[in-house]
Structure 1
Amino acid sequence: MPQLETRNLIDKFKYSVITQLFDQADIDKFRDWVYKGHCATIKKKFTSKDNSQWITRNYLSAKMILSATVMVTSLEYAIKHNLKMSIPYLSYYATITCCRAFLYTIPENTWNYSKIGNKKFLEMSHSTIINCTGSYLNRLDTVFAENTIKTIKELKEWRELFSYKFPSSGLSVIRNYDVNEIIEICSIMCELAQLSSEQIQKYVSKKCMYNYEEWAEPEVDLMEAGFMYNDIIDPEDAFRVRYLSRKQPFPVSIYYTMTEGMVEDYFGAWQEEGEDNYDPDEEWQIIFPVP
């Protein structure tokens, strides 16, 4: 707890997008809806299984944001270097990945540990991601939800057009989305993910610390279910989840789940030395103020 309190004092997350886009009353209403979801499901009886799940969910959300950051900066690189074929793909997948980051933080989006349940939660179909995102955004603002889902569906069609049919006119056959539109959608979804992720941290801190010793030890085998890739566990994921379980053994927001080491290592995995090569170290904070 001291580590969290210290960081909260000196490094508090600052919202810059949603506070300009939505009324504070609507933001508060959405925040309360997420918090009440935890009240309804946990009921002050937090378990080691719950602890494992929510540490993992917020870690997964953090990774989705880092992944989307790589996609957005790759999109900028593709535009700059006239790599047109990749533009629809990167535009769509950056936005849908930020939607995944958002969905992982919503308690109404349940995760039932089992072979089928893990697959259903971790490998949601794109239609499920889009439909659930629209449903949850309706809790915030119905007009925004409608417009956002319309755009994501258009991006999906754009990506599919250049994955299966390849029109001879190239990108000019339909409206070409500007990179700033993609950045805006991603930034909004990332801040909403952060806002939602704060609610499990708040709930546990306020309602569940009375029996901390009973649930404080995360179940690493359950956590590893979130990092299994065709029966292969990424050693970096395994290291990070064990680090989190030691240093901060209860769920904290996405921003506090991220560490400088985690961020540096993640972007470093996409680094390739060479003049004019894509550099993931540029614009780390293009969609989210990563540490």
Structure 2
Amino acid sequence: MHKLLDDYFEYFSLHREFSSHEINRNIISLQNEFASITKTWSMQLNSEWVLRDYIAIKMILSSTVLLGSAKYANEKNLKIVEPYLLYYSLLNCARCVILTSPYCKWKNGDILTMTHKKTINVIGDILSKYNKEKGEEIKNFIDNAREYREIFSYKFPAKGLTNNKLNIENTILICQILCEISQLQSIVLEKSYNKNITEEYDVDWEMMDVGYSYGDVNINLIDEEDGFRLHLISKKQKSPYSLASTMTEGMVMDFLGAWYDDENEENFNPDDYADIIFPCP
């Protein structure tokens, strides 16, 4: 795989789950898909993919916080939150794959509001390009987590937690695979960009609005931190780099730090779990 991409990233989970033939076959397919995009590059496409990669990074970081919270809660015997934390860590990592995939179209930002069911179906399709059985297995695992979370949202069994397969360790393994696939897709885009594009493009800040604006009817939130990070990316690198290259130490520290209680060192510290699914700087 490194010969095809000249890539520095270590794909531990990807090599564990898929053969070299399966991985290399998909790299070639991704190269072809991204070539058709980069050969018709524009300011709009530049804006789209810078934004997609940034939101994908936040999906990794959000899952990092969720899984860290799940491990901390488990250590404190706070089991009631587990179905929610595990499911949404899986869902966000699945979204990360979809955001970095050339097979999934932007459609005026509709990709950001894809339903849970469609997200799970699409992730199964993407993983099946590597291996059909493994794709179906991971899709079913995430769908099982969705159904399990809904059981505790609507019916709440008196017996408590009963799903032995849906545990923190298995969830972490799945999330690691999804994060590495996302990184792989993003590096293929970066290489394709460098090969096919010589002109420098700016970003359309009206399009970037969805990256730092939240809410609908009752909430109207402008996240200054998101706006600051997107501004830095658009000014410094200007184009979509791989997730690992775009993810800076400051970005990670600020994101995780928002969930840290500096008044009590014994409380949950997200920094303790920073590399639980991805080698965050």
TM-score, normalising length: structure 2: 0.93
Residues 80-89 or 30-39, more deviating: 30-39
The one-letter code sitting in structure 2 at the alignment partner of 1:53 is: E
Contact 1:220/1:242, CA 8 A, preserved across alignment: no
Residue 141 (structure 2) aligns with: 151
- The number of equivalent residue pairs is 272
Question: 1:264 and 2:249 equivalent?
Answer: no
CA shift at 1:152, angstroms?
A: 0.9
- C-alpha separation in 2, matches of 1:23 and 1:110: 28
Q: Deviations over 1:232-287 (max 9, x none)?
A: 32100000000001110111011111001000000001111214211111021110
- C-alpha separation in 2, matches of 1:121 and 1:228: 16
Residue 102 (structure 1) aligns with: 97
Aligned with 2:68 (options 61, 68, 73) = 73
Aligned with 2:210 (options 225, 246, 249) = 225
Gaps of 5+ in 1: 1-8
Q: Deviations over 1:142-198 (max 9, x none)?
A: 0100111111111111111111111111113x4352211011000000000000111
List 4+ stretches of structure 1 deviating above 4 A.
none
Equivalent runs, 1:250-289 vs 2, <5 Å? 250-273=239-262, 274-289=264-279
Question: 1:88 and 2:78 equivalent?
Answer: no
- C-alpha separation in 2, matches of 1:166 and 1:284: 31
Question: 1:142 and 2:129 equivalent?
Answer: no
Residues 186-195 or 32-41, more deviating: 32-41
Residue 3 (structure 2) aligns with: none
RMSD across aligned positions (CA): 1.7
Contact 1:88/1:155, CA 8 A, preserved across alignment: yes
Question: 1:20 and 2:35 equivalent?
Answer: no
Contact 2:35/2:196, CA 8 A, preserved across alignment: no
Contact 1:88/1:162, CA 8 A, preserved across alignment: yes
Contact 2:98/2:123, CA 8 A, preserved across alignment: yes
Aligned with 1:235 (options 199, 224, 229) = 224
The one-letter code sitting in structure 1 at the alignment partner of 2:58 is: K
Gaps of 5+ in 2: 1-5
CA shift at 1:83, angstroms?
A: 1.0
- Identical-pair percentage: 37
Contact 1:77/1:278, CA 8 A, preserved across alignment: yes
Question: 1:40 and 2:36 equivalent?
Answer: yes
